[in-house]
Amino acid sequence: MPTLRALVRPPASSFSEALSPHPEQKNIDPARALHQHRDYCIALEEAGVEVITLAPLEAFPDSTFIEDNAVILEGTAYVTAMKAPTRQGESVLIKPALDPYLPVEILTAPVFLDGGDVLITADAIFIGQSRRTGEAAIRYFKERTNLPVLPVQVTGALHLKTVATWLGDRCLIVNPRGCDVTVFQQFDCIEVKREDAYAANCLAIGSTVILPAGFKRVEESLEKAGFTPRPVDMSEFEKADGGITCLSLIFLG
C-alpha cells in the first residue's frame, strides 16, 4: 500500500528576510518559527503522514514554503519555475528528494507557477491566476493531465490556496473575498468571515484538518462538517505570507 509522505524544509536563519507585505514581516522570529515548524510536523505525524525533513536553505529565505517547489499530479512531480526573483533556482533543489518516489519533470519559463496556486480535487484541477502563476501553466497542464484544468482569478491574495482549500469529497473551505468563487458552485463551501481569512488555508488529512490556531469559529464549522480540527501556532509564518499547506509537499509514494 502506498505511504502518505510529506517533504518539509525547516526555516533557515535567513527566514526573517522572507518575501511578505505583512506589516509584521520585520518582526519574524526565526527561532520561534523553527519551534512552530516542529509542532506542525508533529501534527502531520499524528495524522498518519511520514515526514521527510530536508535541510534548510540559507540562500533562499522562503524555502520553508516547500509546497511552491513542485506540483504532484497523477503520479508525476512537476518541479516549478517560480517568478519571484529571490526564489528562482530554489525549486530545482527539491528534485533529488522526489526522484526516489516519483518521475519528475522540470518546468521552465515562461511556464511560471507556484505550487500554492494549484488546488487539486477529485474531479478537477483549479489553477490560480495570480501574481506568481499565469495562463501558460493552464495550457501546460491541460496537455498533460486527464482531469479538467480550470483557471481561477485570485484577487487580494498571494495564491489560490491562500483562499481556498479542498477538504475532500464535495467540501471546500473558502474566503469568498479572495477569488472568483463561482467556479466552485459544485462544492459545499464553508465560507470564512473576513477576520478569519487566514484560516482558509488549512490541510485535510482524512478527517483531520490542520489549521492555524486561534480561529474558533472555523474550528466549530469544521466540526459541524464532520472533521476534527488540529490547530497549530502559525504566527511567524503568517508574518511571512505563508500558510498551513505551504509548509509541506504531500504525496503518495
Q: Are 4 and 52 a contacting pair, CB within 8 Å? A: no
Q: How many CB atoms lie within 10 A of CB 83?
A: 17
Q: Is 159 a catalytic residue?
A: yes
Instruction: Return the DSSP state at 133.
Output: -
Q: Which is catalytic among the residues 41, 171, 179, 246?
A: 246
SS3 of 78, please? strand
Residue-wise DSSP of 203-225: EEETTEEEEETT-HHHHHHHHHT
Q: Is 35 a catalytic residue?
A: no
User: Which pLDDT tens digit goes with each residue over 134-146?
Assistant: 999 999 999 999 9
**Domains detected in the chain:** 4-252 (3.75.10.10)
- Using omega within 30 degrees of 0 as the cis cutoff, is the peptide bond preceding 10 cis? no
Q: Which is catalytic among the residues 159, 171, 179, 202?
A: 159
Q: Are 123 and 170 a contacting pair, CB within 8 Å? A: no
> Average pLDDT for residues 147-162, to the nearest whole number?
95
Average pLDDT score, the chain: 96
The pTM is what?
Answer: 0.96
User: Which pLDDT tens digit goes with each residue over 32-59?
Assistant: 999 999 999 999 999 999 999 999 999 9
